[in-house]
Amino acid sequence: MTPFNILLTGPTGYIGGSVLSALLRHPRLDEFNITVLVQPEVEPSRFGAVRHVVPVVGTHDDYTLLKRLASQADVVISCADADDLTAAKAILGGLKQRHHDSATVPILIHTSGMAVLIDDARGDYVSDRINSDLNIHQLESLPHTQPYREVDAAITDASEEGYVKTCIIVPGLVYGIAQTRLVSLGQDSRSQQIRAIVDAGIDRRQGGVIGKGLNVWSHVHIEDLVCLYMHIFDAAICSCRLYVGRNGIYFAESGECDLGEIFQVVAKELSARGCGTSRPTVFTRAEMEKYTFTRMMGANAHARGERSRSIGWKPVHGMRSMLESIRDEVAASMDATEANL
């Protein structure tokens, strides 16, 4: 049987490592050859000891390497540097070569982010604009100055050319401590967004809030997000019906909340660990410049993953799970801070 060649970027990342772990549990694993691109600072032998995984040392700045690896892949799952247009073009160039050499149409599953939808609310209002992944014209009207938009557009344009089938997964605020076998090999186990909020609170010795905390974000648990990747991957490798190209945008969300509620819970949990009071204080202008996450986390980014659900994806984690996860995030950051004292 001819092996199925998969290239995955970002294997030590929060999302990429979780997706790789799911692939390693796949019932068809014995049919897969999985190549992962690991950064030079990562010890490649960690992944070399994992059956079915071939680590290649390199960076996303190496256009030639990325193109070559993509040209050998039937499926590329891109889980790193969502805003890196050069890296995206390298992968697309390799997949175009794959199409030319094999007369097949390879697949690209690309990770974007819901920051592509953000406005400039700065926490002061909730937008009445709710985005649906079924509304193609609404999505294509987003300016290329939005985060990730230029890369997303290049990917969908490539799919329209016919040499690659593309699916773009757009996660909301991702939460939950990753519990995979790869964490012991160096995978990041934590949410970037929640961790940034918590770490800022520790740094200023008080939980903060952006403006009035009225802005809204959609959210998704890391396990639910990985299930969406697997739904799309499985449909792709079995040649089942799958929306691709302009129609292949998949929002990953299982609900939404105003960020003020998250900031309140963070402040409460920090206070319980002796860091500030339980009531968050407003980030100053200087702090907004210092903590760069505040532009995104002060914006509105709420959406409906209707296309995602139409292919059978059923997220099971909700708002309660998201708020409960903050306690684990605070504990992890506080423990790390205390260990470095």
pLDDT digits (tens, 9 = 90+) for 153-198: 999 999 999 999 999 999 999 999 999 999 988 899 999 999 999 9
pLDDT value at residue 49: 81
Tens of pLDDT along 287-321? 999 999 999 999 999 999 999 999 999 999 999 99
Amino acid occupying residue 10: G
Instruction: Give the residue with greater pLDDT, 340 vs 286.
Output: 286
pLDDT value at residue 59: 92
- Cβ burial of 45 (10 Å; 0-12, 13-18, 19+) is exposed
Q: Phi, psi (5° rounding) for residue 32?
A: -100, 140
Tens of pLDDT along 6-64? 999 999 999 999 999 999 999 999 999 999 999 888 777 778 788 899 999 999 999 99
pLDDT value at residue 158: 98
pTM: 0.96
Over the chain, what is the mean pLDDT?
A: 95
Torsion angle of alpha carbons 242, 245, 247, 249, nearest 10°? 90
Cα atoms found within 13 Å of the Cα of residue 46, Cβ hemisphere only: 20
Residue 259, pLDDT above cutoff 90 = yes
Q: For residues 71 and 29, what is the distance between their CA atoms, to the nearest angstrom?
A: 21
pLDDT bracket for residue 240 (50, 70, 90): confident
- What residues does 301 pair with on adjacent strands? 217
pLDDT value at residue 114: 97
What letters, b where the CB count within 10 A reaches 16 and e where it falls short, cover 91-125? bbbbbbbbbeeeeeebbbbbbbbbbbbbeebbbee
Pairing of strands 216-221, 173-175: parallel
Which stretches within the chain are classed as H helix?
A: 14-23, 45-48, 63-71, 85-102, 136-140, 149-161, 192-203, 222-237, 259-272, 285-290, 294-297, 306-310, 319-339
pLDDT value at residue 1: 56
Tens of pLDDT along 60-117? 999 999 999 999 999 999 999 999 999 999 999 999 999 999 999 999 999 999 999 9
What letters, b where the CB count within 10 A reaches 16 and e where it falls short, cover 225-235? bbbbbbbbbbb
pLDDT value at residue 44: 72
Paired tokens of 90: 């390298």
Of 231-235, 286-290, 333-337, least confident by mean pLDDT is 333-337
Closest CA to 197 of 266, 126, 287: 266
